[in-house]
Structure 1
Amino acid sequence: MTGPPGPLVLVPGIGCGTTQFRRLRPGLAGRDVLALDLPGHRGAPPVPRVSLAAVAARIAEQVPPGSVLVGHSTGGVVGLLVAVRRPDLVSRLVVLDSNLPVTADALARKAARAAQVRSPRWREVLEESMRTAWGPREPGLREQVVAGILATPPEAVRGLWADVLDLDPRELLAALAVPALHVRSSRDVDLAALAALNPRVRGVDLRGLEPGHWPHLTEPAAVLRALHGFLGSPSLEG
């Protein structure tokens, strides 16, 4: 890659909206930033049949060539698909605590959660999962985030969430041809194993700060440091 990185494209997680990046915005002043809601979220047009592949294809339609794609959680998984399938669109990828395990035990735990999403009590599982993932910070903000997730149309959430949990990401991660950064704040992702799978992927571990699953809301300064360090690294030029 030569020259400065392209525009930043921000993609939120499942049930979430682009306003969740508001605490990052001041630190991104001077950059070209585009925030995209997932289909069926916050008024964004839905896809006819919800699937991870269909959602990634819809997002890809809106990503300018050469973008730095920054995705939180499911948004990061969507970003991975876009980066692998449309490398002309993505110059670099940043995933914020996305569920991208690469070890056998972590993949097994992910598969067990996928079975729960197909059960009749999937909305209870969703709420419990999101509350547990939040962490100890700002309980009032947690309630706002969880309420927004639960208010998102079920047809935009359930199939997409199930596909993300069903996904074994190792093949996609191994095929990734652009530099990537995984910012881990709560997920069970082995960053060393991830780097061994694909040396283009580096990791930053924020778990010591106890930010929970939404580090861009609870620890925006740490996320910005990781983001700027990644984008400014000379080793990624040329």
Structure 2
Amino acid sequence: MPEARRARTRRLPKPPSIAPSSTARTSSAALPSADPPSGAWPGEEVPVEGGSVHVRTTPWAGTPGGPHERALYVHGLGGASTNWTDLAALLAVRCAGWAVDLPGFGRSRPLPGGSYSIRGHVRAVVTVLEHVRDQPGEGRGRPVHLLGNSLGGLVSLLVAARRPDLVASLTLISPAMPVYRVPQAFGRALLLLLLPGVPALAERRLAGVTPEQSVRGMLQMCFGEPARVPPERIEAAVAETRERAAQEWANQALTRSMRGLITSYLRVGRANAWRMARSLRMPTLVVWGDRDRLVDPRLAPRLAAAVPGARLLVLETVGHVAMLEAPEETARAVLGLLEDLDDDVTDGRAGLDGDAARAG
């Protein structure tokens, strides 16, 4: 196994259930080989308010008697459930996985009314979390590990703040936290999406982009080292983009979700994402690539400092989608967090047993 990249971290105070340092500890657990890359996991429709969303499932692949938990993965803007194929395969040593296509993305149709607001995505993810929690088998009824990237990271943070009872741990990979400077990779034209009529114009322009051009642009914008992407993953991305190009709602979902994201940045008070981050109490891991062109890596230590006890992993030469570009390093940091939760539970039980013995 290649050695995990060194993470640059910022030390934070210790909360009750987290290790003394905010350094993201990496697990040494044996992981399955990712060579050759596995194909996309199968999926099914899951009912949500007003319709359904497509959810892919990754079966648990742990050892008998070992941890058997559940995880839900939420993709970013323009992404899909397939963004999590490799990471879900690695984390299957501990967690059965569910990866959702947000409404209008991947194989999910838009919900009635065509709304792509952040609140709408939050409602959909809450419903899918409840679905995952209530599935029969090991782990039924227990909170779920929630992982989100970019737009999905922001949505996951808001879900965790509003429904902490559903979330066992939270992993945020380059989440699209509110900023008040437009990223250079987007340019000022992005703000035009707030104006009436402009999203429709953007949709028409997107319709003229070929799948190959779209994937090439995505690689240059989202990856720190595009040349390292396996050819199999590029071919799969082109095929998926062709499938998406046949969906009449695809470009609308992209431009209007972007508009919903920008609009959400204008919220103040309790609805502000930075304020909600400070309210989180579940174990949290923040992962960022130091070559992220879409969400400034300088936000990484700021977010880790905002979330009480959060751990921080900054990956060198990695861009916006660490779960695609550095799946093993990301998986080991997630597993390190979950393994330390096991230790906390064990220590707590030992303390209770000791108290009982002394009382007796």
TM exceeds 0.5? yes
Q: What is the CA distance between 1:228 and its match in structure 2?
A: 1.0
Q: Secondary structure in 1 aligned to 2:73?
A: strand
1:133 corresponds, among 204, 222, 225, to 222
In 2 relative to 1, CA 236–56 (structure 1 residues): closer, same or farther, beyond 3 Å? farther
Listed as ranges, the gaps of 5+ residues in structure 2 are 1-16, 18-66, 134-141, 266-272, 349-360
Show CA shifts across 1:122-157 (max 9, x none): 467996984423332236656864873973712222
The answer for the alignment partner of 1:176 in structure 2 is: 280
Is 1:163 paired with 2:256? no
Partner in structure 2 of residue 62 of structure 1? 128
- Higher mean alpha-carbon deviation, 220-229 vs 29-38, is at 29-38
In the other structure, the counterpart of 1:87 is: 164
Name the SS of the counterpart of 1:62 in structure 2. Answer: helix
Q: Does 1:199 align with 2:308?
A: yes
Change (3 A) 1:58 1:85: same
Which residue matches 1:34?
Answer: 98
Q: How many Å apart are 1:57 and its aligned residue?
A: 0.1
Question: Which digits, 9 at most, give the CA deviation of each residue in 1:93-128, with x for residues without a partner?
Answer: 111112225xxxx53236957514444664679969
Conserved 8 A contact 2:281-2:308:
no
Partner SS state of residue 177, structure 1? coil
Are the aligned partners of 2:287 and 2:300 in contact in 1 as well (CA < 8 Å)?
Answer: no
Deviations 1:9-57 (A, max 9, x none): 1111122222222222332234221111111222223223221101110
One of 17, 23, 27 as aligned partner of 2:80: 17
Asked if residue 115 in structure 1 is aligned to residue 191 in structure 2, the reply is yes
User: Which letter maps to 1:158?
Assistant: T
Q: Which amino acid aligns with 1:109?
A: V
Instruction: Kindly provide the amino acid, as one letter, of the partner of residue 157 in structure 1.
Output: L
Helix, strand or coil: the match of 1:56? helix
Q: 1:197 to 1:214 in 2, by over 3 A?
A: closer
**2:115 counterpart of 1:43:** no
Q: What is the alpha-carbon distance in structure 1 between the residues aligned to residue 163 and residue 330 of structure 2?
A: 26
Could you say which structure has the higher helix fraction?
1
Q: Give the whole-Å Cα distance in 1 for the aligned partners of 2:318 and 2:174.
A: 11
Query: In structure 1, what is the Cα distance between the partners aligned to 2:177 and 2:288?
Result: 10
Aligned to 1:40, the other structure's residue is in SS state: coil
For 1:188, which of 277, 296, 300 is the aligned residue?
A: 296
Q: Could you tell me how far apart the structure 1 residues matched to 2:344 and 2:257 are?
A: 32
Distance in 1 separating the partners of 2:336 and 2:111: 35
- In structure 1, stretches of 5+ residues that fail to align are none
SS of the counterpart of 2:308? coil
Pair 1:213 & 2:349 matched: no
Higher mean displacement: 127-136 or 224-233: 127-136
CA contact (8 A) 1:47 1:58 kept: no
The Cα RMSD (Å) is 3.2
Secondary structure, counterpart of 2:125 in structure 1? helix
DSSP 3-state at the match of 1:24: helix
The CA deviation at 1:192 is 2.8
The alignment status of 1:148 with 2:241, answered yes or no, reads: yes
Cα distance, 1:5–1:113 mapped onto 2, change above 3 Å:
farther
Amino acid at match of 1:197: A
Aligned partners of 1:117, 1:85: CA distance in 2, in Å? 28
Distance (Å, rounded) in 1 between the aligned partners of 2:69 and 2:97: 9
Question: For 1:45-101, what per-residue CA distance to the aligned partner results, in whole angstroms no more than 9, with x for missing partners?
Answer: 322322110111012111125011111211111111111111111121111112225
Calculate the TM-score normalised by the size of structure 2.
0.55
Report sequence identity in percent. Answer: 27
Q: Structure 1 pair 205/7, CA: closer, same or farther in 2 (3 Å)?
A: same
AA aligned opposite 1:159: R
Radius of gyration: which is bigger? Answer: 2
Contact 1:16 1:41 in 2 (8 A): yes
Q: What is the TM-score when the length of structure 1 is the normalising length?
A: 0.80
Q: Are 1:14 and 1:38, in contact at CA under 8 Å, matched by a contact in 2?
A: no
> What amino acid is aligned across from residue 134 of structure 1 in structure 2?
F
